[in-house]
Amino acid sequence: MIQRAWRRYVYREVFRYFKQLISQFNQGDPQKILKPVNPREAELLDAAAGVFMRFRLGGVTFPPNIYYKIFTHRPITDVCASSPRDYTQLGLKQPVARQTNTRWPVVQEDRSGWYRRMEHNSWRLFCSKVVPITEPREIGVNKKMDFHYSKLQRQQDVDRWRKRRKIEWLNQILTQCIDTWLPWWGPQPRK
């Protein structure tokens, strides 16, 4: 009992220390904070870029690791998103009037070579020491994010995702209710 209380006290103090450390990092200059850990990325950060960093705790063991992610206050324009086609392909010419004015259906264009947005700003481990193999260096690297150039299509995708998640949640609640209340109703007559 005393050991558990002592362990709980030590864990809380470690957590409080990490929390205080993260709050100090959030108030500091990102370039100075990142220089000892990742000097190559620190060279890219300057005051004109309007960059700030967010920190969080994570990992599979205690004490947790500190992860960071770089953000910017300034708007960033993804130029390729406004023109997603692959213009290097030969067959991307617009159909001429002879092709569109006939009553034959126009062949759907292949979008396989179009621009796909890749997010390379995942949560990275804030550490200057050698990390064991069990700890991930980056979190969310393999997470696939679909990005469509049309804002309307992106909003429809989000609405579809929310609806699917709500249906999954309702199904989960329903199965839990059935599992807990079905034994109370007694045996069901077979038809």
Residues 187, 115 share a domain: no
pLDDT at position 65: 83
Q: 166 is in which domain, residue-wise?
A: 150-191
pLDDT in tens, 126-150: 875 555 555 555 565 566 666 677 8
Residues 124, 64 share a domain: yes
Residues 159, 145 share a domain: no
pLDDT in tens, 16-36: 988 888 888 888 888 888 888
pLDDT at position 142: 60
Number of domains in the chain: 2
Residues 180, 144 share a domain: no
Residues 25, 83 share a domain: yes
pLDDT in tens, 172-185: 988 888 887 766 65
Residues 167, 127 share a domain: no
- Cβ–Cβ < 8 Å for 49, 72: yes
Residues 155, 128 share a domain: no
Is residue 100 included in any domain, yes or no?
Answer: no
